[in-house]
Structure 1
Amino acid sequence: MGEVANVIVAFAVIVFLFKWVTSSSSGTPDRTAADTLGFRPKNATQDMVDTVSAMFPDIPPDNIRYDLLRTGNVELTTNKILEKGFLEAPPPAYYTLYPRTQNPAPARPATRNTAASTSKQPQESLISRYSLQDRVANQKPDDPPVSEQEIGGKAVWEDTPEKREASLRERKAQMILAARQ
C-alpha cells in the first residue's frame, strides 16, 4: 500500500509540474482581451475614433478608443465627454493589446498640411482684398481719428440693391481703415 501512495503522489507532482510549466511559458499570449481589460470589448472602428476625435481634438485617441471599447457607441462616448469634460485614461493592460501608434490619426495630418500650406503662402491683407491702397496712400499720419459714427454707424436703407451693396462696401472700407489707425 505504501508503494501505491508513493506512485499516486509522484503522478500528482508530475501533473502539477507539467501544468505549471506549460501555463507559465505561454502565459500572456493566450489571455483574451476580456481577461486583459477586465470587460468584454465591443467593436470600435477607426472611423468611430476619428469621429469623436474630430469633435474633441483635445482628448487623446487612446482614451477615446478605450471608452469606445467599453461602450461600443459614439453617442455614449460623446455624452460622457460633454458631461465630465474628459475621458479616463486606459489602464496599462490596454497598451499590451493596442500599442500606441507613432503616426497621428489620418484626419489631423490633413489639417496640419493645410495649415502648413497656408502659412507658406503670403497672406492677403484686407487693404489689398478690398482695393484700399489708394485710400491708405492718401491718408496722412496727422489726420484726426475717425469717430464711431463715421466708421459704421447706422446705414440708410437704399432703394436699389446696387446702392445697398455700394453702401455696405463703403462701410466695410471705413471700418478697415479705422481699424488700421
Structure 2
Amino acid sequence: MSHQDETPTIGLPQLAACLFIGFLVYRYFSSSPSPNTSTRPAGATAPATPSPAQLRRLQEQASLVQGMFPQISTNAAIWELQKNGGSVQGVVDKFLSAGRLPEPPVPIVPNPTAPRRTPSTGATASGSSAKAAGYTDLITRYNLKDRLTESGEAKEEDSSDKKGKQPAWSQNKAERAALLQKRRDEMILQARRKLEEQERKGKGKEVEA
C-alpha cells in the first residue's frame, strides 16, 4: 500500500483568526488621524477667499468701521462683513454689544500692525463714560456736533427714510467714498444717541433704587 502525500490545509479556526487580525489592522490605519488634518477649534470656520473685486469692497467697508473704531483689526472687520453679508451697521452693532470682534482663524489680509487692545466693556459708569468720550472725539473729529443736536423727530423721520431708500453700490470710486462717509457719519451719530439713551435709562434706575 503506497503512502499518500498529505497536502497542508487551512482549517476554519486559522481562517477566522487571519480575518480577525486583518480587520484589526484595517481599523487601526483607517482610524488614525491624518497628519494634514487641521486642529481648529469647534465652530471656527475658515473665511471664504473673496474675489479681488469683493476684497476691495470689503476693505473699503472695513476702513469705514476702523474710522469709527480704530481698535478693530482689518481682518476682524472683513470676517464679520463676510459673515453678515456686508452690513457695516451689523458690524458696528455687534461691536457695541460685545465690546470686541473675534479674529478669523486664518488671516484674510496681512495686518500692518497688531490691533490695539481695549478693556472689555461692562455695564459700569466708567465704561459708559469711556465710550461717551470716544464718541465725542469722533463727533469732534468729523464735525458732527451740529447734527447731533438735531431734534429726535427729525432723526426718526430721517432714519425711516434711509431704511426705505438704500442707495445701490456705485462703480464710481468718488461716489463710493461719499456714500461710505455718509454712512460713517450716520452710524457715529446713531451710536452716540443710543449710548445717551442707555445712560438716561441707567440713571433712571438708580433714582428708582
Task: Please classify the TM superposition score into its range, dividing by the shorter chain length.
Answer: 0.3 to 0.5
Say which one has the larger Rg. 1
Q: TM-score, normalised by structure 2?
A: 0.34
Q: TM-score, normalised by structure 1?
A: 0.39
Higher relative contact order (CA 8 A, sep 6+): 2
